[in-house]
């Protein structure tokens, strides 16, 4: 790792010769495989942007120039080049975050790892620079072909096209894939541009000019800066971008640092908005990733570096249950269709697409469109199942409310990665959905405590034709089945009793509700309180919103309720239960436990559960005052 060990700051990168740059790229790839295989992380995307990131840092003077990474999952190389090479605790507490983080470096700008926002961020920063007269500063947005399918990116492009004097460079990192190959008209257009030869010729000319002098590295960089003459000839617009009025450079071989440098230098010199189309390969240089059909190692767990095989094979048991159930349902019901926002495999729709390719739709990273399209499908007689990560549904709140719920559309939402996810940082905890769904009239929400429950709830949801249903489940492996000792009520009104202490000792009547993955916690708390003399019922309401009449009856008959959920404590399901009881004039005390309303920095799920006081001991301590 001779060149990598020299990189003590980004300035050193600017001094390297072409052959040293090639060595550096190879060192970085070796480092990425070695370190990310131990921690897990976004290996494939980062292997693809090694040369691009080196070139960005040679042409632009970060942090004076701003480099904004869309989504941010591809910022590992940027971290390495800007002095953060200790990846031993990548995506762990107190380690390097998996995304840009302002607390880590002045080179990091945007921490939001929800896709398609970079162009809006960059446009805003560039506009601010212009207003402040900071005309020597450039702003660069690096966006993937996948993220470019998101509506926000198109909205931003629309504005950018009107800002002739804004120093803004949009780099499209086009590897042809999101997880899977990127879908849609824009992806086809990028494909078509890839085959354009005239620009390659111009860029070849640039490269030849640079190499001709035989003076590598720093001199080459200076030479690039000197090549301002004739910039207009190089920057002829192309196709779709031409029609929008945005200058286009490309396509450029993203694994040729000098070619990318040349293109970026031209873009920087232009002085207005320019789009640079860079072709890269996801997983580049690591055979297991290059050969990985599903997603080129988009996001891996801990793997064996030699083979790329996972150390712990089944990380996502909840997803597998859904994957199997929707295939079974699709076999029986031709109206069942699946929708994914560019995450076919991670949400579990791949087996259904394999068997029913015409009934699974990948809409790109377009959650808003996914939801409203589902409303349309429902109107057309289908039963759509929208499978997304919980955190990404935030983006489509208005569509769930106005297009689905207002029209009583029978759409089923399957929210994977709901609750605390931890290692993906603040943006990826699926902690907002319950509080948001609480505000939606007619939305029925279920939280399964095990795989059997998920199966049953999913089938109930598919049989609902009067309005929307939503089922949310966490990231990770499945818990052991937790059977009820008895049930009260039927259908949506059914409440499962998981434990009860029927002693007539005369203690308080305590109702404990631990939603979904917190059901075992509820049982543990219940046992401890029963041992202290309380009369305890541990209940699982299953369909948690709206509150069932059975649950309300149990609640009204209790002196104290302890409510635990894997969602926001303020405004969540427990909070809603407390409001409902108060409206009914019940005197019951409700203690709510859940996720505090903060942005939580990276840590493991277990660590965060501990921090939030969601362990049985912490809950017992917290309710201790009521003894």
Ligand X SMILES: CC(=O)[C@@H](O)[C@H](O)COP(=O)(O)O
Ligand Y SMILES: Cc1ncc(C[n+]2csc(CCOP(=O)(O)OP(=O)(O)O)c2C)c(N)n1
What residue ranges bind ligand Y (CB under 6 A)? 45, 71, 73-74, 113-115, 144-147, 173, 175, 177-179, 282, 298, 341-343, 365, 367, 392, 395
Please identify, using beta-carbon distances, which residue of 338 and 410 lies nearer to ligand Y: 338
Concatenated DSSP letters for 411-436? -EEEEES-B---TT-GGG-B-SHHHH
Shortest CA distance to 470 belongs to which of 493, 442, 496? 442
Phi first, then psi: give them for residue 346, nearest 5 degrees.
-60, -30
Instruction: Classify residue 395 as exposed, middle or buried by CB count within 10 Å of its CB (0-12, 13-18, 19+).
Output: buried
395 is catalytic: yes
Q: Taking CB under 6 A as the rule, does residue 280 contact ligand X? A: no
Residue 73 in marked binding region: yes
Catalytic one of 123, 325, 367, 565? 367
Cα angle, residue 79 at apex, residues 73 and 85 outer, rounded to 5°: 120
Residue 407 in marked binding region: no
315 is catalytic: no
Q: Taking CB under 5 A as the rule, does residue 175 contact Mg ion? A: yes
Q: 58 by DSSP, 3-state: which?
A: helix
Please identify, using beta-carbon distances, which residue of 398 and 621 lies nearer to ligand Y: 398
| Binding partner of residue 395 among ligand X, ligand Y, Mg ion, none, CB cut-off 5 to 8 Å per kind | ligand Y
For residue 232, how far is the Cα from the chain centroid?
A: 39
Nearest residue to Mg ion, scored by beta-carbon proximity: 144
Helix 451-462 and helix 317-332: axis angle, to 10°?
Answer: 30
**Which residues 30-89 are close enough to bind ligand X by CB under 6 A?**
71, 73
Phi first, then psi: give them for residue 140, nearest 5 degrees.
-120, 130
Residue 529 Cα distances to 501, 508, 534, angstroms:
10, 10, 6
Contacts of residue 573, defined as CB under 8 A and 6 or more positions apart, other chains included, come to 434, 438, 445, 515, 544, 545, 563, 565, 567
Instruction: Classify residue 441 as exposed, middle or buried by CB count within 10 Å of its CB (0-12, 13-18, 19+).
Output: exposed
Q: Taking CB under 6 A as the rule, does residue 424 contact ligand X? A: yes
Size of the site for Mg ion (CB under 5 A): 5
**Beta-sheet strands, E only, within 447-545:** 469-472, 486-488, 495-500, 509-514, 535-540, 543-545
Please identify, using beta-carbon distances, which residue of 298 and 605 lies nearer to ligand X: 298
Please identify, using beta-carbon distances, which residue of 177 and 345 lies nearer to Mg ion: 177
Residue 173 in marked binding region: no
Residue 218 in marked binding region: no
Helix 549-556 and helix 573-583: axis angle, to 10°?
Answer: 70
Q: Taking CB under 6 A as the rule, does residue 417 contact ligand X? A: yes
Q: Taking CB under 5 A as the rule, does residue 145 contact Mg ion? A: yes
**Which residues 299-318 are close enough to bind ligand X by CB under 6 A?**
299
Answer for the pair 173, 142: CB distance below 8 angstroms, yes or no: yes
Please identify, using beta-carbon distances, which residue of 315 and 527 lies nearer to ligand X: 315
Rounded to whole angstroms, how far apart are CA atoms 426 and 430?
Answer: 9
Q: Taking CB under 5 A as the rule, does residue 364 contact Mg ion? A: no
Q: How many CB atoms lie within 10 A of CB 227?
A: 17
Please identify, using beta-carbon distances, which residue of 171 and 498 lies nearer to ligand Y: 171
Strand order in the sheet with 274-279: 66-69, 139-144, 168-174, 274-279, 247-253
In the complex, what is the shortest distance from the CB of residue 588 to ligand Y, in angstroms, rounded to a whole number?
A: 39
In the complex, what is the shortest distance from the CB of residue 189 to ligand X, in angstroms, rounded to a whole number?
A: 24
In the complex, what is the shortest distance from the CB of residue 352 to ligand Y, in angstroms, rounded to a whole number?
A: 18
In the complex, what is the shortest distance from the CB of residue 145 to Mg ion, in angstroms, rounded to a whole number?
A: 4
Please identify, using beta-carbon distances, which residue of 71 and 537 lies nearer to ligand X: 71
Rounded to whole angstroms, how far apart are CA atoms 197 and 388?
Answer: 39
| Binding partner of residue 475 among ligand X, Mg ion, ligand Y, none, CB cut-off 5 to 8 Å per kind | ligand X
Catalytic one of 58, 177, 284, 395? 395
Answer for the pair 387, 416: CB distance below 8 angstroms, yes or no: yes
Size of the site for ligand X (CB under 6 A): 9
In the complex, what is the shortest distance from the CB of residue 281 to ligand X, in angstroms, rounded to a whole number?
A: 18
In the complex, what is the shortest distance from the CB of residue 299 to ligand X, in angstroms, rounded to a whole number?
A: 4
In the complex, what is the shortest distance from the CB of residue 235 to Mg ion, in angstroms, rounded to a whole number?
A: 24
Residue 435 in marked binding region: no
Residue 389 in marked binding region: no
Residue 147 in marked binding region: yes
494 is catalytic: no
| Binding partner of residue 341 among ligand Y, Mg ion, ligand X, none, CB cut-off 5 to 8 Å per kind | ligand Y
Shortest CA distance to 59 belongs to which of 212, 214, 206? 206
What's the N-to-C CA distance of the chain in angstroms?
A: 62
Which residues belong to the annotated binding site for Mg(2+)?
145, 175
Residues known to be catalytic: 282, 367, 395
Which residues of this chain interact with ligand X, rule CB under 6 A?
Answer: 71, 73, 113, 298-299, 346, 417, 424, 475
Q: Which residues bind Mg ion (CB under 5 A)?
A: 144-146, 175, 177
Binding-site annotation, residues for thiamine diphosphate? 73, 113-115, 146-147, 175, 286, 367
Known binding-site residue numbers: 73, 113-115, 145-147, 175, 286, 367
């Amino acid at each position: 790792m001779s060149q990598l060990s020299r990189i003590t700051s980004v300035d050193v990168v600017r001094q390297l010769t072409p052959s040293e740059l090639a060595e550096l790229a190879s060192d970085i790839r070796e480092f990425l495989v070695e370190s990310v295989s131990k921690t897990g992380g976004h290996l494939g995307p980062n292997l693809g942007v090694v040369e691009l990131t080196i070139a960005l840092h040679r042409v632009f003077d970060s942090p004076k120039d701003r480099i904004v990474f869309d989504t941010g999952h591809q910022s590992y190389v940027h971290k390495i080049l800007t002095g953060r090479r200790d990846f031993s605790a990548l995506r762990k507490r107190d380690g390097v975050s998996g995304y840009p983080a302002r607390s880590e470096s002045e080179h990091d700008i945007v921490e939001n790892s929800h896709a398609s926002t970079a162009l809006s961020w960059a446009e805003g920063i560039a506009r601010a620079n212009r207003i402040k007269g900071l005309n020597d500063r450039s702003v660069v947005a690096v966006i993937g072909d996948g993220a470019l399918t998101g509506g926000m990116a198109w909205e931003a492009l629309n504005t950018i096209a009107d800002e002739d004097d804004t120093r803004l460079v949009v780099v499209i990192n086009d590897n042809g894939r999101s997880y899977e190959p990127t879908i849609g008209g824009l992806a086809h257009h990028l494909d078509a541009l890839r085959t354009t030869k005239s620009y390659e010729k111009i860029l070849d000319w640039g490269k030849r000019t640079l190499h001709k002098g035989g003076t590598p590295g720093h001199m080459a960089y200076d030479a690039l800066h000197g090549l301002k003459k004739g910039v207009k000839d190089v920057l002829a617009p192309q196709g779709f971008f031409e029609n929008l009025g945005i200058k286009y450079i490309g396509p450029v071989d993203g694994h040729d640092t000098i070619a990318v440098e040349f293109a970026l230098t031209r873009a920087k010199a232009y002085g207005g908005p320019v789009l640079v189309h860079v072709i890269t390969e996801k997983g580049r240089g690591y055979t297991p990733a290059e050969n990985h059909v599903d997603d080129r190692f988009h996001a891996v767990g801990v793997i064996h570096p030699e083979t790329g095989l996972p150390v712990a094979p089944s990380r996502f048991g909840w997803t597998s249950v859904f994957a199997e159930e929707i295939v079974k349902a699709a076999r029986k019901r031709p109206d069942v269709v699946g929708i994914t926002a560019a995450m076919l495999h991670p949400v579990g729709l791949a087996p259904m697409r394999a068997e029913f390719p015409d009934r699974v739709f990948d809409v790109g990273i377009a959650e808003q469109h996914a939801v409203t399209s589902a409303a349309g499908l429902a109107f057309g007689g289908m039963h759509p199942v929208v499978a997304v990560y919980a955190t990404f549904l935030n983006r489509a709140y208005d569509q769930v409310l106005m297009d689905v719920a207002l029209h009583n559309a029978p759409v089923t939402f399957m929210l994977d990665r709901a609750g605390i996810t931890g290692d993906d940082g603040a943006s990826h905890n699926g902690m907002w959905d319950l509080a948001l769904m609480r505000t939606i009239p007619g939305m029925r929400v279920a939280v399964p405590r095990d795989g059997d429950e998920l199966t049953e709830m999913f089938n109930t949801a598919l049989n609902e034709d009067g309005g929307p249903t939503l089922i949310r489940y966490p990231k990770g492996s499945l818990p052991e089945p937790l059977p009820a000792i008895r049930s009260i009520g039927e259908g949506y009104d059914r409440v499962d009793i998981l434990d009860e202490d029927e002693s007539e000792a005369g203690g308080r009547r305590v109702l404990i509700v631990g939603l979904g993955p917190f059901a075992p916690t509820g049982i543990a708390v219940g046992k401890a309180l029963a041992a202290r003399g309380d009369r305890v019922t541990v209940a699982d309401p299953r369909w948690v919103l709206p509150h069932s009449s059975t649950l309300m009856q149990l609640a009204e008959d209790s002196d104290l309720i302890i409510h635990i959920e894997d969602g926001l404590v303020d405004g969540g399901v427990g909070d809603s239960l407390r409001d409902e009881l108060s409206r009914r004039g019940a005197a019951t005390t409700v203690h709510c436990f859940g996720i505090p309303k903060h942005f939580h920095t990276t840590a493991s799920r277990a660590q965060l559960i501990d921090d939030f006081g969601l362990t049985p001991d912490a809950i017992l301590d917290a309710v201790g005052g009521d003894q």
